[in-house]
Amino acid sequence: MSAATDTKTIEPFVISREFDAPRDLLFACFTDPEHMKRWWGPKGFKVLHSKMDLKPGGTYHYGLEAPNGSSMWGRFVYREIEAPKRIVLVGSFSDASCGLTRHPLNASWPLEMLSIFTFEEVGKKRSRLTVSWAPINESDEERAAFEAGRGSMQQGWTGTLDQLEAYLATFARP
């Protein structure tokens, strides 16, 4: 832990949304690389690479293509998987070889983020996803970048969840 983490508690960024989909399907959209290919990432981005080893200590490595043609890579390192209720992971930017890298547009962005995804039933055919996101082992500079970035996190996650919602809408509803 850094001194910043030892002395200050950072408030996580939290976003939640309900979906017209059963919890098992919503959970599968986060745990099957074929599902992830069809919706993951900011609005307008296309998934180029999606490889998953879904187990504690395993990784999800993905590559995205931006609308301008540039590529961006990321990875998850799974800590906990409690199907179909919860996933805990450490997320970061990466390179094409799954190595840890800095944010391509903000060198002050936290190197690693603790992400907690919770999946709740809201009736038989409806579910709620809550994402909690906070830097870990962050420096004071990374903490400041995280705090300053809350508006862009809201925008980015909203776009990503919009894509998930559109993807879920492609499944037939009885």
- Each residue's pLDDT, cut to its tens digit, for the chain (174 residues) gives 444 444 468 999 999 999 999 999 999 999 999 999 999 998 889 999 999 999 999 999 999 999 999 999 999 999 999 999 999 999 999 999 999 999 998 999 999 999 999 999 998 899 999 999 999 999 999 999 999 999 999 999 999 999 999 999 999 665
- The token duo for 12 is 């996580």
Domains along the chain with CATH numbers: 3-168 (3.30.530.20)
Residue 141, number of CB atoms within 10 A of its CB? 13
46, 53 contact by CB (below 8 A): no
Q: In whole angstroms, what is the distance from residue 109 CA to residue 107 CA?
A: 6
